[in-house]
Amino acid sequence: MEPFKTITSLAAPLDRVNVDTDQIIPKQFLKRIERSGYGEFLFFDWRRLQEGPNAGDPDPSFTLNDPRYKGAKILIAGKNFGCGSSREHAAWALSDFGFRAVIAPSFADIFFSNAGKNGIVLIRLSEEDVALLLNRAATTQNYELTVSLEAQTITDGLTGDERFHATFEIDPFRKFCLIEGLDDIGLTLRHAVALDTYETKHDQANWLKPRPAA
Amino acid sequence: MSNTPKTLFEKVWEQHVVVEPAGEPTILYVDLHLIHEVTSPQAFEGLRLTGRTVRRPDRCVATVDHNVPTTLAERFNIVDQIAAKQISTLRENCKEFGIELFDIGSREQGIVHVIGPELGITKPGMTIVCGDSHTSTHGAFGALAFGIGTSEVEHVLATQTLPQSRPKTFRIAVEGELPKGVTAKDIVLAIIGQIGTDGATGHVIEYAGSAIRSLSMEGRMTICNMSIEAGARAGMIAPDETTFAYLKGRRYSPKGEAWESAVAEWNKLPSDPGAKFDRELIIDAATLAPYVSWGTSPGMVAPITSAVPNPADAQTEGERRAFERALEYMDLKAGTLLENINVDRVFIGSCTNSRIEDLRAAAHIAKGHHVSTHVSAMVVPGSQAVKDQAEQEGLDLVFKEAGFDWREPGCSMCLGMNPDILSPGERCASTSNRNFEGRQGRGGRTHLVSPEMAAAAAIAGHFVDVRNWSEIAETAEAN
């Protein structure tokens, strides 16, 4: 996992609530057995015109098709981002497309976990702050945000009273793992002795076994 | 040890704590890991790349469900080569790592959340995970069961544990007698409509109350299944005599003395009187009706007797825009009576509603009638065992005579990873769990309903209030 330090990048606004993982990566791309290459399928249906003579062509009204946001590493969205299916392909697609951070008022639990395991920082801000950032990203040319995970801050490049500055909460252990780019399995295996001890005892609980003891 | 009253969730959680490192998530032991073809290949590949292996193959069970075609002809000759490769990859991985696989053609194959319970693999008090958000289904047995991503699948394969931060608890009590025609599906749709699709984020729900206690295991599974649609980490129901009666005699249920001692343990699991929950909600069962979803999020539901809501009545600006977008996608106008919405397709199936009781309920409605001429309807049993049982009871004949397609088991049109999909613009009454844009096929329009409501819509050609089915059916026949 790529360690996350501080990023300064264009921010793309996706002003929708309840963005579900079926939209982030539709089902037809879940049949692949690889872990990479999902970026081109990110928001597959939303990026394309669904009707009319040019159906299938890029929909110019969709944020990620707007050349203004090309190369954006930060996505801003409405509440409950990543709800629905547990497919980690959603995190893989966002990461492969180039996103390193998503800002929203709230995130769904499973997506939250999947994003962290792929080096994507999820930042919860208030509804008001997110509304402000969505508006600025939509109306300001080359609107950039700086996310510092170390300092837990988000700032924009405006000056004076206009300058956006917010702090965000993150679980300290999650922060540590993101900054160091740590492998979870390796971290758990630090507790191998405790696990062996626990498991030996736990295995005596036959009523918690999938199949009866032979 | 303190004598503080504990919730069902707390009892199961505490029994599975391996270690609680300071300042880090708890390492939680996993009793059962269910595996399917879609979310596992990258996890097995990860093990190979890091030189790790599967710690406890005996605590894993695999099946194929998401990609499998539901026609006999295609089942053993899968046309979609990418899907076929994913299925053969699971076969190879199970063989390499010694994991039991219920493959296509086996009598045990089926949707992973249907076969776990019916084989008696799922049991009260267990921790159960699967790379599928509807793993919450198994909570109906008093297990702590939740969906995980593929990195976590790899983590469980390698360590039989997961690092987890402790969720909060949310007790939802449904009290009183359920009105006639109101099902478990309607209860859970009503709950999601009330608390919202993020209403239980970060929480484990315990469903309680007399209306929940009165449900069969099938009904309880339907409710726990859709906990994720309310954002919950998991849903649970305390085990009781209904649970034990369901499990007794199943293939992997304990037998003899082991059964007696298991029941003694399971009886200790229900929440203690006075146990504290972080949140509580009480719902009066008498206020519930059959529900139909009208939008593109499972919280967008309304009783069958009502109309498509007006975005102008939304509580917030964000909600208003979401309503407008949903109505545009669904091609619906505010104020249209739900009963006046015609359907093109009907899907009875999915891990939410494909068990024997669901099929019996739908067949009861369909018996002696015929699917409307402009509707195409299909029934997809949740497992081979459900299909066999239904055929023994003659339900397949009821469906076929009524003009329903009778299919082979799998996830099918719940998410359309196999050939069963909606065409753009098609409108479907579905017993599944998600009405997201494009979920059942690009441009498809999904309305979530109970099996009874789906069968009635198939016959009437539009949504109807199943509580008035006998009168409606007479009129339909006369026409």
Two tokens, residue A144: 């950039």
pLDDT of residue B202: 97
Report the residue of chain A nearest B130, measured CA to CA.
A86
pLDDT of residue B2: 62
pLDDT of residue B225: 98
Which of B15, B18, B68 has the most A C-beta neighbours within 10 Å, making it the best mutation to test the interface with A?
Answer: B18
Picking from A83, A127, A184, the nearest residue to B163 by CB comes out as: A184
Contact A188 B27 (CB under 8 A): yes
Strand bridging mode B279-284 / B32-35 = unpaired
Model confidence pLDDT, tens digit, residues A33-48: 999 999 999 999 999 9
Q: What are phi and psi of B12, to 5 degrees?
A: -70, -45
DSSP per-residue letters across A143-193: -EEEEETTTTEEEES--GGG--EEE----HHHHHHHHHT--HHHHHGGGHH
Contact A31 B32 (CB under 8 A): no
Strand bridging mode B161-164 / B144-147 = unpaired
For residue B96, the tally of other CB atoms under 10 A from its CB is: 13
Cβ–Cβ contact A209 with B under 8 A: yes
Two tokens, residue B133: 């958000």
> What confidence tier does A214 reach under pLDDT thresholds 50, 70, 90?
low
Nearest in space to A29 (alpha carbons), one of B82, B296, B434, B421: B82
Could you give the residue ranges of the DSSP H alpha helices within B331-450? 356-366, 384-392, 395-401
DSSP per-residue letters across B70-112: SSHHHHTS-S-HHHHHHHHHHHHHHHHHT-EEE-TTSTT-B-H
Nearest in space to A35 (alpha carbons), one of A90, A101, A108, A112: A90
SS3 B400: helix
CA distance B264 to chain A (A): 10
Task: Report the alpha-carbon angle B244-B167-B63, nearest 5.
Answer: 55
Are B444 and B435 contacting, i.e. CB atoms less than 8 angstroms apart?
Answer: no
Residues of A in contact with B256 (CB under 8 A): none
Picking from B86, B147, B258, the nearest residue to A206 by CB comes out as: B258
Which of A21, A130, A211 has the most B C-beta neighbours within 10 Å, making it the best mutation to test the interface with B?
Answer: A211
Q: What are phi and psi of B379, to 5 degrees?
A: -120, 125
CB pairs under 8 A between A and B: 205
Report the residue of chain A nearest B125, measured CA to CA.
A208
pLDDT of residue B476: 64
Task: Return mean pLDDT, chain A.
Answer: 95
Interface predicted TM-score (ipTM): 0.95
B132 CB burial (10 A radius; 0-12, 13-18, 19+)? buried
Contact B262 A198 (CB under 8 A): no
Distance CA B310, CA B336 (A): 10
The arrangement of strands across the sheet holding B144-147 comes to: B100-102, B60-63, B32-35, B127-130, B144-147
Q: Which portions of chain B are predicted below pLDDT 50?
A: none
DSSP per-residue letters across B183-195: -HHHHHHHHHHHH
Two tokens, residue B418: 């196999």
Report the residue of chain A nearest B116, measured CA to CA.
A210
Cβ–Cβ contact A34 with B under 8 A: yes
Cβ–Cβ contact A126 with B under 8 A: no
Are B270 and B237 contacting, i.e. CB atoms less than 8 angstroms apart?
Answer: no
Contact B197 A18 (CB under 8 A): yes
3-state secondary structure labels for all residues of B289-351: CCEEECCCCCCCEEECCCECCCHHHCCCHHHHHHHHHHHHHHCCCCCCEHHHCECCEEEECCC
Which of A111, A185, A195 has the most B C-beta neighbours within 10 Å, making it the best mutation to test the interface with B?
Answer: A185
Cβ–Cβ contact A91 with B under 8 A: yes
User: Is the four-CA dihedral A92, A96, A101, A105 of positive or negative sign?
Assistant: negative
Inform me whether the pLDDT recorded for A71 exceeds 60: yes
Distance CA B450, CA B456 (A): 10
Contact A26 B442 (CB under 8 A): yes
SS3 B219: helix
Report the residue of chain B nearest A80, measured CA to CA.
B198
Picking from A22, A118, A210, the nearest residue to B252 by CB comes out as: A210
B240 CB burial (10 A radius; 0-12, 13-18, 19+)? middle
Helices (H) and strands (E) in chain A, counts: 7, 7
pLDDT of residue B38: 97
Model confidence pLDDT, tens digit, residues B154-186: 999 999 999 999 999 999 999 999 999 999 999
User: Is the four-CA dihedral B90, B379, B329, B310 of positive or negative sign?
Assistant: negative
pLDDT of residue A94: 98
Residues of A in contact with B258 (CB under 8 A): 206-207, 212-213
> What confidence tier does A51 reach under pLDDT thresholds 50, 70, 90?
confident
pLDDT of residue A183: 80
Cβ–Cβ contact A135 with B under 8 A: no
CA distance A21 to chain B (A): 9
CA distance B439 to chain A (A): 7
Contact A31 B82 (CB under 8 A): yes
Cβ–Cβ contact A173 with B under 8 A: yes
SS3 B445: strand
Could you give the residue ranges of the DSSP H alpha helices within chain A? 21-24, 89-97, 109-116, 127-139, 172-180, 184-188, 192-202
Which of B55, B130, B150 has the most A C-beta neighbours within 10 Å, making it the best mutation to test the interface with A?
Answer: B150
Model confidence pLDDT, tens digit, residues A143-198: 999 999 999 999 999 999 999 999 999 999 999 999 998 888 999 999 999 999 99
Could you give the residue ranges of the DSSP H alpha helices within B141-291? 150-159, 184-195, 210-213, 217-225, 241-247, 256-266
